[in-house]
Each structure stands twice: as C-alpha cells, then as structure tokens.
Amino acid sequence: MRRYAGLLTLILAVALAAPPARAQEKPRYGGELIFAVPSQPPSYDAHQEETFGVIHPVAPHYNTLLRVEPFDRTGTKPVGDLAESWTIAKDGLTYTFKIRRGVKFHDGSDMTSRDIKASYDKIIFPPPGLKSSRRTTYQAVEAVEAPDPYTVRFRLKWPESSFLLNLASPWNFIYKADILAKDMRWYERNVMGTGPFTFVEYVKGSHWVGKKNPNYWDKGKPYLDGYRALFISSSSAQVAAVRGERAHIQFRGFTPADRDSLKQALGDKITVQESPWDCVLMVAMNHTRKPFDDKRVRRALTLALDRYEASKNLSRIAIVRDVAGIQVPGTPWATPPAELEKLAGYSRDIGKSRAEAKRLLREAGVPDGFAFTFKNRGIPQPYEPIGIWLIDQWRQIGLNVKQEIVEASAYHPMLKRGDFEVAMDFACGFIVEPDLDLGRFVTSSDANYGKHQDKVIDELYQKQARAVDAEERRKYLRALEKRLLDEEVHVMYTLQWNRIIPHSSKVKGWTITPAHYLNNMLDTVWLSE
C-alpha cells in the first residue's frame, strides 16, 4: 500500500491543482469585451496580411474551415469550424471535408463549399498581382474542388503531415465567393463573414467594434453582446488601460514587470495566463564572411551560452523563459530535455562548454579579443535584454562584441541583403508545426539569412514533411535539429519566448496558446460580471 501512497498523493495533487472543468462554469451572456491591440490593421484581408493587428480585431467576423481547439493550451489540435467532419485518403493525397449546413454570411446569404473553394483558391492560387502571404505553405496542393455545395476536396501532389493543421490557420478567413468573383480586393477594405460577430465600425487609430451575430450557426454562441478593440501602441498605455479597468485584456502579451505591477495593483481582479510562445530569437551567422564560415567558430559561439542560467534569470526581466530546440516545449514535436542537453551549447556544464569554445576558437585561428559587430533589431522586448546577454556570454570566451541596433523597419532588408557578420534573427509562428517553423532553414529559403548551403538539411526537411508515421517524422526532426544546431551550427537558438497575459478576472472562456494569432474568434469568451 505504501508503494502506491506516493502515486495516490500525486494524483490527488494533480486533481486539486487542475483548473475546474469548463462544464462547471456556466457562461454568462451579455457584456462587451474590451481589449487593447498594440498594432493596427494595414488592410482587413487576412489572406495577405502578416500582423496580429489584423487577426485580433477582425477574426471575430469570420470562420475558418478548421480551427485549433480553443481550450487546447498547445494550440496544435485541429477541430472543425465550418467543416463538420473530414476524411483522408489512405495515400494521404486527398482530404475531403463535409461542410456545415445552415451557415449564413452576415448579409443573410448561405455559405457553401463554393465560398470555401473561392477563398482557398485566392490563398493558394492568387491571381497575378494579388498578395497571398502564406501561399508557399500550400505548395503540396494541386487543386481545391467543390463537388457539391457541402463538400470540399483538397487534392495534394504529395502527402504532407502538416496539412490538416495548416488548414486550421487563423489567417484563412472564409470569404464570399460572389464578392471575390466581382472584386478580389474587396475584402481589403470591407468585412463580410460568417463569424460570431458582425462589423459595426472602425475608426482608424482609435477602435474597432463588433456586435453579436444573432444568426450565428453555433447555437447559443457567442456569449458576448459585442467587443471593442482599442488600438493602443504604447505598452505602458496598454498596461494603464488594464490597470484602470478600461480594457479587460490584451491578447499579444505583457512583460514580467507589467505582469507583476498589474498583479500587485489589482490582486485577484487579475488572472495571469502564461505559455511558451511560438516565437524565438535566433542568432544568424553569415556563412559568407570570415571567420563565421568556419563551423568551429559558430560552434564556439553557441557553446558560450549558458542557456539554463539565462532561462532562470532573464525570465524575470524579459519575455523569454524556456530552453528549447526547434519546437516549442510541451508541444508534440518538442525535443525531450535529455536529448536537448546533448546538443552543443545545451550542456549543463557551462565551464566545460566554454573551455571547449575557447579551444575551438584557438584552433580556428581566432585571436583572443577578436572583435565583431552584432546587429540587433531596435525593439526593446526581448531583443534588447537578449542582445546584452549574448554579448556578455561571448565576452566570457574572449570575444569583443559591439552591438549595432538597426531600426525595426530597416532590419529585415538588412538581413536579406546579408549585410551583417552576426545578427539577431527572429521567427514567430501562428501554429506550432515543424513544416511551418523549419522551412526557413532550407537552403533556398528567403529566410536563410546566414546563407548556408546544406543538402542534408534540405533532405531531412522534406523527409519529415512527408513522413506519415509520427515516429518516423520524430526521427527525421531530431536528425535535422542535430545537424542544424550541433554538427553545422548554421544558426543558434537563444530562449523560447514566454507569453504572459494578465487579464481581468471577469474574462472567462479564453485559453492561452503558444501563438498570439490563435483563439481570437471570441465565440467561447464570456464576462463573469
């Protein structure tokens, strides 16, 4: 019996610590959710935009074919939204979706598979001159078909394990086919969806308002009467808005200092949700410049980093926390900690790592005190603290690093030109999926800023993307990770971002996920008072 006492205690502890089941909380109807949005929508067409400034205010007007399960903290489980069910052919080349009946656009017209086909044709096969930001992630798609009003079929050129999750992309709003047929750009300045909220008004630089769609197909939802998105770019003003209870929430994230000050000021009136964030700062090393063309030098740079110490301490001042490999910790394809520690720069014995780093630098002919410039993006969080930390870590292996801050708008062109020796690289995903997160490391990728050429990486990427069996895919992913971060050190990962959402405790029915692009439809959200 004593043997099981520990286990029993553990089970009880987990049961007590677990949040109360959703079923126990009866949603309350009414109220207006007010949230701050730090960015503004350049246009309203999510198919072509890349900022959360579109998703946060505009997503509640639309549905997507699939969505990620709104209460899944990993944000990796696709569930039907406009799709009621689906089947996948045995060869993995055909996906057939049954579409919900009775779904209406806000103008009262019926939504059918024709609208879904038109929307996906716009995303995957846009007409010349029309921008589609995520078109390349659907390269496997040969055709989108609508054999009947309530069936949509995707035919693929090759099987792709990420395809289903990719269809749950929050960017893929379903638009009305008739409107698209007349004007493919109509949705840049207008709203007409099937979502839980209808459009009321948008005042540029001020606010965006939506009100409850009384004819929403998901009966009983939404719970809110409406929502109001306030465009507030200053982070201190966002915090002040939540602190002054003028806004319930800001869906992107706050800093640890903001979290602490809000919690201190408002106590139980604030609920804090945290999650590893599908954003990471990496270090790109220019393979066309000496001495960074030498993998011993690149390896020395990663070996110098004490990631575990930084994780413990930088998380107090910056929006970073976990030590991670190529996938967000806690998600299906994440690297187990024991395996991670085997990679260069991930050992817990920092003294040994740094001694090895110094030896490699000597071997590569890099003198003590060697100076280079590290280019960083002119954004405070978390670029600034990570930059200071990196320079200090490299100082400890005898490198003399000068930081050059490049203004945010000029940063991306600078990376693309390859005008750097070592520079901060960054990536933020909308869904945690290796295909979406790792495509940047393929030799031909536009985001291969370090200009490495590695056929092994290219092959491993393709193999993992097409592997149908999960174990097989995992094996390829681990091999790719070892090649990328250890054997060749084409790039180095710093720390995984940490998403911190301190929100009014009145806000219920919203669950944090690793991406700030997910869970913004607001159909499950309600206000307790």
Partner 1 sequence: MAIERATERLGELDGAPARPWVDAARDFVRRRPLGAVGAAVVLLMLVVALLANLLTPYNPVAVDFAAMLAPPSASHWLGTDAFGRDVLARLIYGSRTALFVGFGAAFFGATVGAVLGVGSAYFGGRVDLYVQRVMDVFLSFPLIILALAIVAILGNNLPNLITAITIPMIPRCALVIRASALSIREMPYIDAARAAGFGHGRIILRHMLPNVMAPYLILLTAFLGQAILLEASLSFLGLGVQEPTAAWGLMLRGAAVEFAEAAPWMAIFPGLAISLAVFAFNLFGDSLRDALDPRLRTQ
Of 131 and 395, which CB lies nearer to partner 1 in the complex structure?
395
Q: Report the run of H or E that residue 80 belongs to, with start and end.
A: strand 78-80
Q: Which segments of 190-288 does DSSP mark as H helices, in order?
A: 235-243, 256-266
| Among residues 84, 183, 392, 419, the one that binds partner 1 under rule CB under 8 A | 392
**Of the listed pieces 122-130, 141-149, 166-174, 402-410, which binds partner 1 according to CB under 8 A?**
402-410
Distances 36 to 201, 206, 224, 232 between C-alpha atoms, Å: 16, 10, 17, 6
Nearest alpha carbon to residue 318 among 234, 237, 259:
259
Distances 257 to 241, 262, 341, 381 between C-alpha atoms, Å: 16, 9, 30, 12
| Among residues 131, 290, 348, 395, the one that binds partner 1 under rule CB under 8 A | 395
| Among residues 40, 43, 132, 403, the one that binds partner 1 under rule CB under 8 A | 403
| Among residues 388, 427, 428, 447, the one that binds partner 1 under rule CB under 8 A | 388
Q: Could you tell me the smallest distance in angstroms from the CB atom of residue 313 to partner 1? A: 4
Among residue numbers 302 through 321, which ones bind partner 1 (CB under 8 A)? 309-310, 312-313, 316-317
Q: Please report where in the chains the tokens 């706050």 appear, as a residue.
A: 254
Nearest alpha carbon to residue 188 among 109, 112, 114, 126:
126
Q: Could you tell me the smallest distance in angstroms from the CB atom of residue 380 to partner 1? A: 6
Of 285 and 386, which CB lies nearer to partner 1 in the complex structure?
386
**Of the listed pieces 123-131, 387-395, 438-446, 447-455, which binds partner 1 according to CB under 8 A?**
387-395
Question: CA angle at residue 470 from 448 to 97, to 5 degrees?
Answer: 90
Collapsed DSSP state (helix, strand, coil) of residue 99: strand
Phi, psi of 333, rounded to the nearest 5 degrees: -105, 15
Of 27 and 378, which CB lies nearer to partner 1 in the complex structure?
378
| Among residues 142, 188, 341, 384, the one that binds partner 1 under rule CB under 8 A | 384
Of 45 and 258, which CB lies nearer to partner 1 in the complex structure?
258
Among residue numbers 349 through 378, which ones bind partner 1 (CB under 8 A)? 378
Contact status: 389 vs partner 1 (CB under 8 A):
yes
Of 87 and 234, which CB lies nearer to partner 1 in the complex structure?
234
> Using only C-alpha atoms, what is the Rg of the chain?
24
Q: Could you tell me the smallest distance in angstroms from the CB atom of residue 388 to partner 1? A: 5
Q: Could you tell me the smallest distance in angstroms from the CB atom of residue 404 to partner 1? A: 7
Contact 152, 65 (CB under 8 A): yes
Round to whole Å and give the CA distance between 495 and 325: 9
What does 247-268 look like in DSSP terms, one character per residue?
-SEESS---HHHHHHHHHHHGG
| Among residues 64, 76, 194, 255, the one that binds partner 1 under rule CB under 8 A | 255
Contact status: 421 vs partner 1 (CB under 8 A):
no
Of 254 and 476, which CB lies nearer to partner 1 in the complex structure?
254
Q: Could you tell me the smallest distance in angstroms from the CB atom of residue 372 to partner 1? A: 14
Contact status: 261 vs partner 1 (CB under 8 A):
yes
Among residue numbers 457 through 516, which ones bind partner 1 (CB under 8 A)? none
Distances 416 to 13, 150, 266, 427, 480 between C-alpha atoms, Å: 51, 44, 45, 14, 23
Angle between helix 383-395 and 307-314 (nearest 10): 140
Round to whole Å and give the CA distance between 410 and 416: 10
Of 448 and 494, which CB lies nearer to partner 1 in the complex structure?
494
Among residue numbers 229 through 248, which ones bind partner 1 (CB under 8 A)? 236
- Which residue ranges make up the site for partner 1 (CB under 8 A)? 236, 255, 257-258, 260-261, 309-310, 312-313, 316-317, 378, 380, 384-385, 387-389, 391-392, 395, 402-405, 407
